[in-house]
Amino acid sequence: MATLLQHQDLETRSAKNYVTEVFELVKKRNPNESEFHQAVKEVFDSLIPVLAANPNYMKHGILERMVEPERVISFQVPWIDDHGKVQVNRGFRVQFNSAIGPYKGGLRFHPSVNASIIKFLGFEQIFKNSLTGQPIGGGKGGSDFDPKGKSDTEIMRFTQSFMSELSKYIGPDIDVPAGDIGVGAREIGYMFGQYKKIRGAYEAGVLTGKGLSYGGSLGRKEATGYGTVYFVEEMLQDVGLGFKGSTVVVSGSGNVSIYAIEKAEQLGAKVVACSDSSGYIYDKQGINLDTVKRLKEVEGKRISEYVIQHPHAQYYPDCSGIWSIPCDIALPCATQNEIDDAAAKLLVSNGVIAIGEGANMPSTLEAVNVFHENKVLFGPAKAVNAGGVAVSALEMAQNSMRLSWTLEEVDLKLQEIMKDIYTNSIQAAQDYNAPGNLVVGANIAGFKKVADTMISQGVI
Ligand code: NAP
């Protein structure tokens, strides 16, 4: 018995050393990429027990290979604005890991985009895509282009120039981009048109999030937000709770937020606050989603205008203040690192029961520790928001078969997928001695399939 324990100790120590060594290498090779380091650290910390139990992963250099993207493409995107001035942005596509399928992941257009952000998102995507149970690898891309304040023709010229270069590296069996922050149906439409023109072929499966008239899937627009709520409902039901009768705060007012609000309300919750990058609104009677949809989806206005229609509500010009509102469930659905240590403590002191990360990495590592220490139910992004990419994979399947499923069919599949992700993550956490820790569970469940596949395919 003593020898067995000593042996396990040794394995754990060598797994810890291995993780430390590879993480140091990541920092050295990728200096000044703090978001990428953060994402790698979160995954690595979870993997120690799985590496200790399966030293084969160390022998095959799996971590070293996983943290190095298979390909990083960085390119110039020149375009002409409405005043005839030449503008130049930077485009990226990181093709991270193709062990289990073609690269898959969104495109983000936001001024904050840089190599670190695209790499953290691409790295996360490997495990998220694996968790969905679909045959898709991990990738991500985007540009530091700021769509805010641009005319429709400027958006078109920019996206066409972006696709002129990107088209060389993607294809239905190679790499299939989708939307993310700043990239919705309009941008996907322009990019698809340009891709079709360049290739001279109608390859519907090259992009997902397309319009319904040219190969889009019913339910894709709603998938990430609905999936977020389905996952959190699973988490709550496991302890005898649910959205019904709860008070919810959702940050952001974009694609993920709007459909998270919609599903939470359908399940009987009252959503009292949402935000944009300028500020947040608090409507204690419950947010009127029709107003938010009109302002954001149709008119492209700021969330501050909500209070013009609903004068009993309040607007506060600081988006981070949203976490001071007391709630049972918080769904951060805007952007990375929007909940820090202080915001997490505030949520806890106001009695929050559950957090579901609709956005990618919205909580800092310190904030996640605060939630765990205080026994708050915590659903990590790569599990919670995987519904979007899962339905993107369903869109690819429909494109391959040249048919369309009904909204009910897609929604049912989404519900099953989110339930499976929850079950597999909670089971993996249990198996590796971290009961209830969904960060550990999701990382391990996502990792094992990719790692085992990499071993079967050899060092390539
Ligand atoms: P979106 O439609 O562009 O909406 C983003 C929302 O977040 C907007 O309300 C935006 O406000 C707000 N926001 C952006 N940057 C912010 C900042 N620095 N501080 C505060 N608020 C900020 O994007 P989305 O598709 O909903 O994506 C939101 C998050 O979900 C991202 O983390 C994305 O990676 C993740 N995600 C999306 C999908 C998907 O299917 N779309 C799937 C998985 C994960 P403004 O309008 O003022 O910029």
| pLDDT score recorded for residue 299 | 95
Domain of 235, CATH number, reads: 3.40.50.720
Note whether residue 445 is domain-resident. Answer: no
**DSSP bridge partners of 87:** 79
Note whether residue 374 is domain-resident. Answer: yes
User: How many domains does the chain contain in total?
Assistant: 3
Q: Which tokens belong to 254?
A: 């974009």
Query: 224-252: per-residue pLDDT in tens?
Result: 999 999 999 999 999 999 999 999 999 99
Query: 94-138: per-residue pLDDT in tens?
Result: 999 999 999 999 999 999 999 999 999 999 999 999 999 999 999
DSSP-assigned letter for residue 205: G
**pLDDT over 90 (residue 6):** no
Among 202, 233, 266, give the residue marking a domain's end: 202
What distance in angstroms lies between residue 333's CA and the mean position of ligand 1's atoms? Answer: 6
Q: Which of 110, 181, 229, 255 to mutate to test the pocket of ligand 1 (most atoms within 8 A of CB)?
A: 181
Q: Is residue 392 part of an annotated ligand binding site?
A: yes
**pLDDT over 80 (residue 259):** yes
Range of the domain at 35: 2-67
Same domain membership, residue 189 and residue 44: no
Note whether residue 403 is domain-resident. Answer: no
DSSP 318-384: -GGGGGGS--SEEE--S-TT-B-HHHHHHHHHTT--EEE--SSS-B-HHHHHHHHHTT-EEE-HHHH
Among 32, 67, 102, give the residue marking a domain's end: 67
Nearest CA to ligand 1 atom 10: 276
Q: Are 158 and 150 in contact (CB under 8 A)?
A: yes
Same domain membership, residue 99 and residue 61: no
Which residues line the pocket of ligand 1, CB cutoff 6 A? 179-182, 224, 252-257, 276-278, 319, 333-335, 338, 358-360, 385, 388
Q: Is residue 128 part of an annotated ligand binding site?
A: yes
**pLDDT over 50 (residue 212):** yes
Same domain membership, residue 370 and residue 237: yes
Query: 382-434: per-residue pLDDT in tens?
Result: 999 999 999 999 999 999 999 999 999 999 999 999 999 999 999 999 999 99
| pLDDT score recorded for residue 101 | 98
Nearest atom within ligand 1 for CA of residue 257: 26
Note whether residue 211 is domain-resident. Answer: no
Query: 301-358: per-residue pLDDT in tens?
Result: 999 999 999 999 999 999 999 999 999 999 999 999 999 999 999 999 999 999 999 9
Domain of 90, CATH number, reads: 3.40.50.10860
**Residue 140 catalytic?**
yes
CB-based contacts of 323: which residues, under 8 Å, 6+ apart?
Answer: 249, 251, 330, 339, 343, 344, 346, 347
d(CA 66, CA 44): 11
Same domain membership, residue 240 and residue 369: yes
| pLDDT score recorded for residue 7 | 67
| pLDDT score recorded for residue 11 | 84
Nearest CA to ligand 1 atom 47: 277
User: For 140-162, what is the mean pLDDT?
Assistant: 98
Q: Which tokens belong to 15?
A: 């797994």
Query: 178-203: per-residue pLDDT in tens?
Result: 999 999 999 999 999 999 999 999 99
Same domain membership, residue 231 and residue 175: no
Distance set, CA 412 to CA 130, 151, 159 (Å): 20, 38, 33
pLDDT tier at 1 (50, 70, 90 boundaries)?
Answer: very low
Same domain membership, residue 95 and residue 57: no
pLDDT tier at 10 (50, 70, 90 boundaries)?
Answer: confident
Q: Which of 335, 392, 410 to mutate to test the pocket of ligand 1 (most atoms within 8 A of CB)?
A: 335
Same domain membership, residue 229 and residue 252: yes
Same domain membership, residue 252 and residue 191: no
Q: Which of 112, 132, 255 to mutate to test the pocket of ligand 1 (most atoms within 8 A of CB)?
A: 255
SS (H, E, C) 182-193: CECHHHHHHHHH
Same domain membership, residue 60 and residue 75: no
Q: How crowded is residue 196: how many other Cβ atoms within 10 Å of its Cβ?
A: 17
Note whether residue 159 is domain-resident. Answer: yes
Same domain membership, residue 156 and residue 102: yes
Q: Are 377 and 239 in contact (CB under 8 A)?
A: yes
- Among the listed residues 119, 140, 210, 448, the single catalytic one is 140
Note whether residue 452 is domain-resident. Answer: no
| pLDDT score recorded for residue 4 | 53
What distance in angstroms lies between residue 430's CA and the mean position of ligand 1's atoms? Answer: 32
Note whether residue 392 is domain-resident. Answer: no
Same domain membership, residue 176 and residue 126: yes
What distance in angstroms lies between residue 381's CA and the mean position of ligand 1's atoms? Answer: 13
Q: Is residue 104 part of an annotated ligand binding site?
A: yes
R_g of the chain computed on alpha carbons: 22
Note whether residue 460 is domain-resident. Answer: no
Domain of 38, CATH number, reads: 1.10.285
**pLDDT over 70 (residue 73):** yes
Kindly report the average pLDDT of the chain as a whole number.
97
Same domain membership, residue 226 and residue 350: yes
User: In the block, which residue shows the tokens 């309300």?
Assistant: 265
Among 379, 412, 428, give the residue marking a domain's end: 379
